[in-house]
Copies of this chain bind each other. A is one copy, B any other.
Protein backbone atom coordinates (compact mmCIF):
# COMPACT_ATOMS: atom_id res chain seq x y z
CA UNK A 1 0.00 0.00 0.00
CA UNK A 2 1.30 3.39 -0.95
CA UNK A 3 0.07 5.42 2.00
CA UNK A 4 1.42 2.80 4.35
CA UNK A 5 4.89 3.00 2.84
CA UNK A 6 4.78 6.79 2.85
CA UNK A 7 3.91 6.72 6.55
CA UNK A 8 6.65 4.23 7.29
CA UNK A 9 9.11 6.47 5.49
CA UNK A 10 7.99 9.55 7.39
CA UNK A 11 8.28 7.68 10.68
CA UNK A 12 11.62 6.25 9.65
CA UNK A 13 12.93 9.71 8.74
CA UNK A 14 12.16 11.07 12.20
CA UNK A 15 13.69 8.00 13.79
CA UNK A 16 16.82 8.38 11.64
CA UNK A 17 17.09 12.11 12.43
CA UNK A 18 16.84 11.25 16.10
CA UNK A 19 19.53 8.61 16.09
CA UNK A 20 21.85 9.84 13.32
CA UNK A 21 21.24 13.58 13.21
CA UNK A 22 21.06 15.68 10.08
CA UNK A 23 24.68 14.81 9.31
CA UNK A 24 24.03 11.08 9.41
CA UNK A 25 20.71 10.59 7.66
CA UNK A 26 20.69 8.97 4.27
CA UNK A 27 18.24 7.14 2.05
CA UNK A 28 19.67 3.92 3.40
CA UNK A 29 19.48 4.75 7.12
CA UNK A 30 15.96 6.07 6.66
CA UNK A 31 14.86 3.02 4.72
CA UNK A 32 16.40 0.75 7.34
CA UNK A 33 14.55 2.58 10.14
CA UNK A 34 11.35 2.44 8.10
CA UNK A 35 11.80 -1.20 7.20
CA UNK A 36 11.35 -0.57 3.50
CA UNK A 37 13.50 -0.66 0.41
CA UNK A 38 15.90 2.19 -0.17
CA UNK A 39 14.65 2.93 -3.66
CA UNK A 40 11.20 3.78 -2.30
CA UNK A 41 12.56 6.99 -0.81
CA UNK A 42 13.02 8.30 -4.33
CA UNK A 43 9.83 6.82 -5.72
CA UNK A 44 7.65 8.45 -3.07
CA UNK A 45 9.48 11.65 -2.27
CA UNK A 46 11.84 12.32 -5.16
CA UNK A 47 14.90 12.91 -3.02
CA UNK A 48 16.19 12.57 0.53
CA UNK A 49 15.95 16.33 1.06
CA UNK A 50 12.31 16.46 0.06
CA UNK A 51 11.55 13.58 2.42
CA UNK A 52 13.32 15.36 5.26
CA UNK A 53 11.36 18.54 4.66
CA UNK A 54 8.06 16.65 4.47
CA UNK A 55 8.84 14.67 7.61
CA UNK A 56 9.71 17.79 9.60
CA UNK A 57 6.32 19.33 8.94
CA UNK A 58 4.43 16.06 9.31
CA UNK A 59 6.06 15.28 12.63
CA UNK A 60 5.57 18.77 14.01
CA UNK A 61 1.89 18.74 13.05
CA UNK A 62 1.41 15.58 15.07
CA UNK A 63 3.33 16.85 18.05
CA UNK A 64 1.55 20.19 18.16
CA UNK A 65 -1.81 18.45 17.90
CA UNK A 66 -0.83 16.34 20.89
CA UNK A 67 -0.29 19.42 23.04
CA UNK A 68 -3.13 21.59 21.74
CA UNK A 69 -5.59 20.49 24.39
CA UNK A 70 -3.10 21.00 27.19
CA UNK A 71 -2.15 24.42 25.83
CA UNK A 72 -5.82 25.32 25.70
CA UNK A 73 -6.16 24.85 29.46
CA UNK A 74 -3.30 27.18 30.31
CA UNK A 75 -4.48 30.41 31.95
CA UNK A 76 -1.47 31.66 33.92
CA UNK A 77 2.23 32.06 33.38
CA UNK A 78 2.83 29.50 36.10
CA UNK A 79 0.76 26.93 34.22
CA UNK A 80 2.56 27.77 31.00
CA UNK A 81 5.89 27.16 32.69
CA UNK A 82 4.59 23.89 34.02
CA UNK A 83 3.51 22.72 30.57
CA UNK A 84 6.81 23.94 29.13
CA UNK A 85 8.73 21.91 31.66
CA UNK A 86 6.62 18.81 30.99
CA UNK A 87 7.09 19.26 27.27
CA UNK A 88 10.83 19.68 27.72
CA UNK A 89 11.14 16.56 29.87
CA UNK A 90 9.05 14.39 27.58
CA UNK A 91 10.55 15.61 24.34
CA UNK A 92 14.09 15.46 25.70
CA UNK A 93 13.41 11.81 26.38
CA UNK A 94 11.83 10.93 23.05
CA UNK A 95 14.00 13.34 21.05
CA UNK A 96 11.22 14.80 18.93
CA UNK A 97 12.12 18.44 19.47
CA UNK A 98 15.75 17.68 18.74
CA UNK A 99 14.55 16.69 15.30
CA UNK A 100 13.46 20.30 14.75
CA UNK A 101 16.89 21.38 15.92
CA UNK A 102 18.49 19.09 13.36
CA UNK A 103 16.31 20.52 10.62
CA UNK A 104 17.11 24.02 11.80
CA UNK A 105 20.81 23.23 11.54
CA UNK A 106 20.36 21.84 8.05
CA UNK A 107 18.23 24.83 7.11
CA UNK A 108 21.14 27.22 7.60
CA UNK A 109 22.66 26.05 4.32
CA UNK A 110 19.65 24.64 2.49
CA UNK A 111 16.88 27.02 1.32
CA UNK A 112 14.37 24.20 0.87
CA UNK A 113 14.91 23.11 4.48
CA UNK A 114 14.65 26.72 5.57
CA UNK A 115 11.12 27.03 4.20
CA UNK A 116 10.03 23.72 5.70
CA UNK A 117 11.57 24.50 9.07
CA UNK A 118 10.02 27.97 9.14
CA UNK A 119 6.63 26.40 8.49
CA UNK A 120 7.16 23.73 11.15
CA UNK A 121 8.23 26.33 13.69
CA UNK A 122 5.19 28.35 12.68
CA UNK A 123 2.95 25.51 13.83
CA UNK A 124 4.40 25.89 17.31
CA UNK A 125 4.37 29.67 17.38
CA UNK A 126 0.69 29.82 16.40
CA UNK A 127 -0.16 27.80 19.50
CA UNK A 128 2.23 29.71 21.73
CA UNK A 129 0.79 33.02 20.55
CA UNK A 130 -2.69 31.95 21.60
CA UNK A 131 -1.51 30.82 25.01
CA UNK A 132 0.54 33.97 25.56
CA UNK A 133 -2.38 36.18 24.57
CA UNK A 134 -4.50 34.53 27.26
CA UNK A 135 -1.76 34.46 29.88
CA UNK A 136 -0.76 38.07 29.41
CA UNK A 137 -4.31 39.34 29.01
CA UNK A 138 -4.44 41.18 32.32
CA UNK A 139 -0.74 41.77 32.92
CA UNK A 140 1.09 45.05 32.22
CA UNK A 141 2.93 43.20 29.45
CA UNK A 142 -0.29 42.18 27.74
CA UNK A 143 -1.20 45.66 26.55
CA UNK A 144 2.10 46.48 24.91
CA UNK A 145 3.84 43.15 24.39
CA UNK A 146 4.78 42.00 20.92
CA UNK A 147 3.10 38.64 21.44
CA UNK A 148 4.10 37.18 18.04
CA UNK A 149 7.69 38.21 18.75
CA UNK A 150 7.55 36.76 22.23
CA UNK A 151 6.16 33.50 20.87
CA UNK A 152 9.07 33.24 18.46
CA UNK A 153 11.54 34.00 21.22
CA UNK A 154 9.98 31.27 23.33
CA UNK A 155 10.10 28.74 20.49
CA UNK A 156 13.69 29.56 19.55
CA UNK A 157 14.85 29.49 23.17
CA UNK A 158 13.09 26.22 23.71
CA UNK A 159 14.93 24.60 20.83
CA UNK A 160 18.21 26.04 22.05
CA UNK A 161 17.57 24.58 25.48
CA UNK A 162 16.61 21.27 23.93
CA UNK A 163 19.91 21.15 22.07
CA UNK A 164 21.76 22.16 25.21
CA UNK A 165 20.15 19.40 27.28
CA UNK A 166 21.91 16.71 25.27
CA UNK A 167 25.41 18.11 25.84
CA UNK A 168 24.96 19.48 29.37
CA UNK A 169 22.05 17.99 31.33
CA UNK A 170 22.95 19.71 34.62
CA UNK A 171 23.35 23.05 32.88
CA UNK A 172 20.01 22.55 31.24
CA UNK A 173 18.29 21.89 34.56
CA UNK A 174 19.89 24.95 36.09
CA UNK A 175 18.76 27.00 33.10
CA UNK A 176 15.16 25.89 33.55
CA UNK A 177 15.25 26.76 37.24
CA UNK A 178 16.49 30.23 36.34
CA UNK A 179 13.66 30.71 33.88
CA UNK A 180 11.18 29.69 36.57
CA UNK A 181 12.54 32.50 38.71
CA UNK A 182 12.10 34.89 35.83
CA UNK A 183 8.50 33.81 35.46
CA UNK A 184 7.92 34.34 39.16
CA UNK A 185 9.17 37.90 38.84
CA UNK A 186 6.81 38.58 35.99
CA UNK A 187 3.89 37.09 37.88
CA UNK A 188 4.76 39.30 40.78
CA UNK A 189 4.10 42.29 38.56
CA UNK A 190 0.52 41.10 38.20
CA UNK A 191 0.07 41.41 41.94
CA UNK A 192 1.16 45.02 42.09
CA UNK A 193 -1.25 47.83 42.84
CA UNK A 194 -2.74 50.07 40.12
CA UNK A 195 -0.17 52.88 40.47
CA UNK A 196 2.75 50.49 40.15
CA UNK A 197 1.20 48.83 37.14
CA UNK A 198 0.83 52.15 35.38
CA UNK A 199 4.53 52.75 35.98
CA UNK A 200 5.38 49.27 34.73
CA UNK A 201 3.42 49.90 31.54
CA UNK A 202 5.28 53.14 31.03
CA UNK A 203 8.62 51.36 31.45
CA UNK A 204 7.65 48.75 28.89
CA UNK A 205 6.40 51.35 26.41
CA UNK A 206 9.65 53.24 26.74
CA UNK A 207 11.53 50.05 25.95
CA UNK A 208 9.33 49.47 22.92
CA UNK A 209 10.13 52.92 21.54
CA UNK A 210 13.80 52.35 22.32
CA UNK A 211 13.88 49.04 20.48
CA UNK A 212 12.00 50.46 17.49
CA UNK A 213 14.63 53.18 17.16
CA UNK A 214 17.48 50.71 17.43
Contact = CB atoms under 8 A, between A and B. Distances in A.
Interface of A: 19-24, 82, 85, 95, 98, 101-102, 104-110, 114-115, 117-118, 121, 125, 140-141, 144-150, 152-153, 155-161, 163-164, 166-168, 171-189, 191-192, 196, 199-200, 203-204, 206-208, 210-212, 214
Given A104-B163, A156-B160, 7 more contacts: A107-B166, A117-B167, A118-B167, A144-B181, A159-B163, A181-B204, A184-B207
B21 A108 contact: yes
B152 A168 contact: yes
22 contacts: A20-B109, A21-B106, A21-B110, A23-B105, A24-B109, A104-B163, A107-B166, A108-B166, A114-B167, A121-B164, A121-B168, A145-B181, A146-B177, A149-B174, A150-B182, A156-B163, A156-B172, A159-B163, A180-B214, A181-B207, A187-B203, A196-B196
Given A106-B21, A108-B166, A175 B161 contact: no
A192 B189 CA distance: 11
B185 A141 contact: yes
Given A104-B163, A121-B167, A156-B163, A204 B176 contact: no
A105 B114 contact: no
A149 B161 contact: no
A153 B179 contact: yes
A102 to B, nearest CB: 5
Contacts of A23: 22-23, 105-106, 109
A22 B105 contact: yes
B166 A161 contact: no
A188 to B, nearest CB: 4
Contact of A105 (B163, B171, B173, B203): B163
Contacts of A200: 185, 188
Nearest to A187: B203
